[in-house]
Each structure stands twice: as C-alpha cells, then as structure tokens.
Amino acid sequence: MKIGTVFVIITLALVSLCSTAVGQMRIVKTDEGYQFSEGGKPVLFYRTKVRTTASGTHARSNYCHPVYGLDGKVLTEDFPADHPHHRGIFWAWHQVYVGERPMGDMWACQDFAWDIRKVQVLPEPSAAALKADVYWTSSQWKDGREPFVHETTTIRVHETTADTRLIDFDIEMRALVDGLRIGGSNDVKGYGGFSTRIVLPADMQMSDTSGPVTPRNTAVPAGDWLNFAGTFGDAPSNFAILVHPSHPGQPRKWILRKAGSAQNLAWPGREPVAVSTKEPLVLRYRLVLHKDADVNELFEAYRELPKP
C-alpha cells in the first residue's frame, strides 16, 4: 500500500471520529465544544470548555453560543458589557442550596462549575443531536471535589423546513445529595431558569397566544410561548421560545426586556423548589427561528412530542 493511500485512510478515520453527519445536519467535535451545522453552515455551538473574561472572572461552560439566525448572522451574545455573566442560550439559577447552605451562584458564575464528563452524539433522522452528562460542583461543597447534581441535557437541531428551524433542549436534573433546592433571584423579580441572551433589534415586538406582550420590571404572566419579531440580522424574522406543557409552574412568568438583557422563563421564581435524588426534574424547551410561521400550530405539534 502506498504512503499516500495510508495517509488518506488515516485522515478519513480521524474525521469520522470527530464528526457525525445526518443528511444535511452535522456535529463536529472541537477542543472547545461541539459545532452543529446544516448544509455546511453553522447553526449553534455547544460549549464544553470553560470560558472566562480576560481577567479570569465569570467562568462558565454548558451553554450555547454562538447561535445563528436563518440568515447566517450571529443571533446571541456572550460576555455582554452590561451583564458579563449572560451567555447565549443558558439555564441557570441564583439560588442553589444543599439544606440551608448556598452552593454558589450559577447564574452569576460565582463559586460554581460544570463538570462535563461525557458527551454522546445521537444518531437521529433529520436532526443533529447530542446528550451531555454534566455534574454540578461548587467550592462551597467538598471544596469542589464532589458533585451534588447530575444534569443530563439533550440538544437537538432539526433540519430547516419552510424557513423554520427547530432547536430542542431537554434538561434533566437529579440531586446526588439530600436537601437540594434551586430558585430564582431572591427578590420580586425571581429571575432564573432557561434564558436567551439574543441581540435585540430596535423594532422588536413581543407576543404570546393572547397577543402583544409588554415587558415590565417584574415578571410578566404570559403563555406557554413567546414570540420575538423584528429585524434580526439583515431582514425581518422571528425568534420564539416554546415551553413544553409538561414543564412545572402555571401560569408561566417571564422576565422580558427590550434592550440590554436576557429573555427568561422565570421558574420557579423567588421560592426555591426541591430536586429529588430519585426522580429527575425534567424541563423541556423549543427554540423556533422562523420567517412568518404560525406559532400556535408549532406549539401544538410540540405538545404532541413523546417523552424523551
């Protein structure tokens, strides 16, 4: 066998280890995380390697950035000047307790770390998907040597159809110690949970099942989905957050902003809730990037999804 032939075989083998493709969908592993793409164009990046500011603050991993719009422009922000702890698409809580002992602040990236031990790329038709095993640690618990929560997160990007892209997040959390509780900010806002830090256009309008939604300083009661319409990138488009009906907490409460902040399903709010050591807490969300789809129809289809 010629040396050139051997080189080609080895190269192809290395690519197959680092890249998984389904149709137009592809996931490529890098030193920093996992890149999702469709038809050779990037869709989102799931970060597994810890990233910090230049001064070493606000260390975090286990989030998605950049996320790209349908026009290929970056839709999310990371380390924005006004809130350097905000990061793309993320899920985090201010209050994390074991008993009465605080385990740092995972929202603000203080005394908290995500130990991503395993990422499995899932073979699925018409989608690119991965499942990450993430263990929560804190310098406030066993000096960070032992985890106190096992999180399993599945991220699934579906093939784009009719100018509509669906991105699913299925997040499961199981406590590894008794007395684990999570909650939002300990104030009237109660923010914390699944959040999106997106580039907010000046002409953005928000709506839910009942019509236009107006942000305010505290949480806004709204429906199972929120749509954000405006000039994202170079042209008008939409970004929607859907909350699966199985998600705890009714009515839904949202922290919404028209400028300089994140959009957040504020669950559970100010009062922490228990996380079991036996039955995992399951939180399901779908992001929809679309031109002018009927979000009610999209939500009804999402409602019918089988359990993960």
Instruction: Output phi, psi for 293, to 5 deg.
Output: -80, 160
Q: What is the pLDDT of residue 22?
A: 64
pTM for this model (two decimals) = 0.92
Q: Give the per-residue pLDDT at 23.
A: 73
* Per-residue pLDDT reduced to its tens digit, 147-158: 999 999 999 999
- Report the percent of the chain where pLDDT is more than 70: 93
93 inside domain: yes
The predicted structure's pLDDT at residue 161: 95
pLDDT value at residue 14? 37
Whole-Å CA distances, 299 to 5, 68, 232: 51, 22, 22
Please give the tally of structural domains in the chain.
Answer: 1
181 within domain boundaries: yes
* pLDDT per position as a tens digit, 21-76: 667 999 999 999 999 999 999 999 999 999 999 999 999 999 999 999 999 999 99
Whether residue 279 lies inside any domain: the answer is yes
Regions in the chain scoring below 50 on pLDDT: 1-17
Query: In this structure, is residue 40 part of a structural domain?
Result: no
46 lies in some domain: no
Half-sphere exposure of residue 112: CA atoms within 13 angstroms, side-chain side: 24
Separation CA 230–CA 203 (nearest Å): 5
What's the confidence (pLDDT) of residue 94? 98
**What secondary structure does DSSP assign to 13-70, as a single string?**
HHHHHHEEEETTEEEEE-SSEEEEEETTEEEEEEE-S-B--TTS-S-B-SEEEEEB-T
For position 124, which CATH number holds? 2.70.98
Length of the chain (residues): 308
Angle at 69 between CA 165 and CA 207, to 5 degrees: 75
Tell me which residue of 44, 19, 178, 50 sits closest to 116, measured CA to CA.
50
Q: Which residues contact 250 (CB under 8 A, 6 or more apart)?
A: none
pLDDT in tens, 257-276: 999 899 999 999 999 999 99
Q: Is residue 119 part of a domain?
A: yes
Identify whether 59 is part of a domain.
no
For 103, the domain range is 75-303
Give the separation between CA 238 and CA 228, rounded to whole angstroms.
Answer: 6
Say if 3 falls within a structural domain. Answer: no
